[in-house]
Amino acid sequence: MTNPERRAEEAVTLEVKNFINGEYRTSSTGKLFDNIYPCTGERNSTVHEASQEDVHAAVQAARDALSGPWGRMTDAERGEILHKVADGIDARFEEFLAAECRDTGKPYNIASHIDIPRGAANFRVFADAVKNMSTEAFQMATPDGKGAFNVAVRKPKGVIAVISPWNLPLLLMTWKVGPALACGNTVVVKPSEETPTTTTLLGEVMNEAGVPPGVFNVVNGFGPDSAGAFLTEHPGVDAITFTGETRTGEIITQTAAKGLRDVSMECGGKNPALVFADCDMDKAIEGTLRSVFANCGQVCLGTERVYVERSIFEEFVQRLAEAAGNYKLGLPEDKSTDMGPLVSHEHQQKVLSYYRLAEEEGASIVLGGGVPDMPEALAGGAWVEPTIWTGLADDARVVKEEIFGPCCHIRPFDTEEEAIALANDTPYGLAAAVWTENMSRALRVSPQIDCGICWVNSWFLRDLRTAFGGAKESGMGREGGEHSLEFYTELQNVCIKI
Ligand code: NAD
């Protein structure tokens, strides 16, 4: 066994503790829970559930660190340390990769291209972005004729609570921790109970990079009556940034109202793809295949509703089903694996309930619809088949509700106006994909879709400097580039009378 392989093995068999004030701590109540490998149902590790006392210690450490060396550093000094954090992730790439894939079951070929490199990039991008962030200055007239100057000073918000989901654990957590730290804040992170390992492992990297104790803290546990609620309810938290389900986002927003704490909400979606007859069919098939089935459909930006112009409907359905039907389900480390399992048995039950509901609601099953036959060693895993339906009514629950699995419903349309109306017929508004080679159409259609990000002839292409967030029930606020820096800083106006 090579060194990185052995380290990777250790990373997944160790206990997962909380990381508070620069050190790993066991749960003060001794409460533990199991972290499960979704490919087989075996236990990966045991996780220390943070008590209210542990969460308080983490918030207190974060508060104290604001007035320590971290608070006195220049942006450039902090940026240098955050570059070392990114380098530290790169240096322990195999360890992060193995841990992420053991927690999620996702293929190495996805996590090694997306999750881990983007996890490191999130520190580099924001460490550099913060150096170029401007403030404002206004000169004003005063009655005595002497005038005054107003200068805006940008300050960190303070202690930021970061609540993250399980679908892209390292990537989505660092997407918030990177800019929060670059702006001089301190953080307490509550990763998903399903996927605590890479967030906790990041504590070691923080220490190695010279991040002072208390700047980055991790508390493990669940949401209600556990670490998530203890953290968001804690009065020592100045702002909360959340990624997860819309219903959870609503609860956290209510919690944040006490003390008028700021929130950033990145929530669920039921994203449409619009495929016009003037598309490049090969591109549209390849892109839709990824947007529906990547990460076993567990991507907030993924497509669950596909609308295809009637003249190419039959061909599109047949080609997408053929391509998805060739998907190989398997273990993360197998290079030929296209799709892993769902993240947990609980989520498998949720997705399978929608597979059954689709039949009850009268869907034609084009592909899948159940649990695949897996080899005996994998029979205990949370596997589901890639699934395609047609023929559902527009108000069917399967067409309306976020499923978060490897599945989509495909429906024909006749006119551009109809396609836009169908795309917008949802309470969500996260993402959309438009497939057409007619750029006038692309420019006409995309702004009419009510969503935070609309891709044309692509999907999941992200420039981290651009605004990211959801419209309608998909979120509140924007992160990305200067929008992240806006959220993680407070502007103070200093008015100087001459
Ligand atoms: P979830 O809402 O169940 O959990 C997210 C996090 O919130 C977890 O850490 C969980 O423990 C915590 N939590 C739950 N209840 C809480 C409470 N009452 N107080 C404090 N914390 C609480 O979401 P999930 O199942 O982990 O993730 C999947 C969802 O996330 C999907 O809806 C998906 O669309 C969404 N998502 C959105 C984006 C985006 O950028 N908009 C990105 C990824 C995932």
- For residue 469 the two structure tokens come to 């967030």
Q: Whose CA is nearest to atom 39 of ligand 1?
A: 266
Share of the chain above pLDDT 90, in %: 96
Best residue among 245, 255, 403, 466 to mutate for probing ligand 1, ranked by most atoms within 8 Å of CB: 245
166 lines ligand 1 (CB under 6 A): yes
Do 114 and 19 belong to one domain? yes
User: Which CATH number belongs to the domain containing residue 186 in this structure?
Assistant: 3.40.605.10
pLDDT of residue 6: 46
pLDDT of residue 134: 87
Query: 100, 266, 361, 402: which is the annotated catalytic residue?
Result: 266
Whole-number Å distance between alpha carbons of 215 and 239? 15
pLDDT band with cut points at 50, 70 and 90 for residue 340: very high
Q: Where are the alpha helices (DSSP H) in 132-245?
A: 169-182, 197-209, 227-233
Would 469 be classed as within a structural domain?
A: no
Do 275 and 378 belong to one domain? yes
pLDDT band with cut points at 50, 70 and 90 for residue 3: very low
Would 326 be classed as within a structural domain?
A: yes
- For residue 212 the two structure tokens come to 């002072």
Q: Whose CA is nearest to atom 26 of ligand 1?
A: 165
Do 305 and 439 belong to one domain? yes
Do 351 and 444 belong to one domain? yes
pLDDT above 60 (res 9): no
Query: What pTM value is reported for the model?
Result: 0.96
252 lines ligand 1 (CB under 6 A): yes
pLDDT above 60 (res 184): yes
Do 318 and 450 belong to one domain? yes
267-287 residue pLDDT tens: 999 999 999 999 999 999 999
In the DSSP assignment, the letter for residue 295 is G
Average pLDDT for 87-115? 98
Count up the domains in the chain and report the number: 2
Task: Say if residues 300 and 266 touch (Cβ distance below 8 Å).
Answer: yes
Do 302 and 411 belong to one domain? yes
Task: Say if residues 49 and 220 touch (Cβ distance below 8 Å).
Answer: yes
479-493 residue pLDDT tens: 999 999 999 999 999
Q: Say which residues have a Cβ less than 8 Å from residue 188's Cβ, sequence separation at least 6.
A: 55, 58, 59, 62, 159, 160, 161, 162, 217, 218, 219, 231, 237
User: Which CATH number belongs to the domain containing residue 422 in this structure?
Assistant: 3.40.309.10
Maximum Cα interatomic distance, the chain, rounded to a whole number of Å: 86
Q: What range does the domain containing 46 cover?
A: 3-267+474-497
Do 371 and 401 belong to one domain? yes
54 lines ligand 1 (CB under 6 A): no
pLDDT above 60 (res 356): yes
Told to judge if 183 belongs to the known catalytic residues of this protein, a careful annotator would answer no
Cα distance between the two ends of the chain: 71
Would 468 be classed as within a structural domain?
A: no
Told to judge if 266 belongs to the known catalytic residues of this protein, a careful annotator would answer yes
221-263 residue pLDDT tens: 999 999 999 999 999 999 999 999 999 999 999 999 999 999 9
Share of the chain above pLDDT 70, in %: 97
165 lines ligand 1 (CB under 6 A): yes
pLDDT of residue 4: 43
Which residues does residue 156 pair with via DSSP β-bridges, in sequence order? Answer: 489
Average pLDDT for 184-206? 98
> What is the distance in A from the centroid of ligand 1 to the CA of 125?
24
SS3 150: strand
Task: Say if residues 385 and 371 touch (Cβ distance below 8 Å).
Answer: yes
Best residue among 200, 233, 234, 243 to mutate for probing ligand 1, ranked by most atoms within 8 Å of CB: 243
> What is the distance in A from the centroid of ligand 1 to the CA of 271?
17
226 lines ligand 1 (CB under 6 A): no
pLDDT of residue 14: 79
Q: Whose CA is nearest to atom 43 of ligand 1?
A: 300
pLDDT above 60 (res 193): yes
163 lines ligand 1 (CB under 6 A): yes
> What is the distance in A from the centroid of ligand 1 to the CA of 470?
14
pLDDT of residue 352: 98
**What are the percentages of helix, strand and coil residues in the chain, rounded to 5?**
40, 20, 35
pLDDT of residue 130: 94
pLDDT band with cut points at 50, 70 and 90 for residue 455: very high
Which residue type does 226 have?
S
Average pLDDT for 362-380? 97
> What is the distance in A from the centroid of ligand 1 to the CA of 264?
13
Whole-number Å distance between alpha carbons of 337 and 330? 5
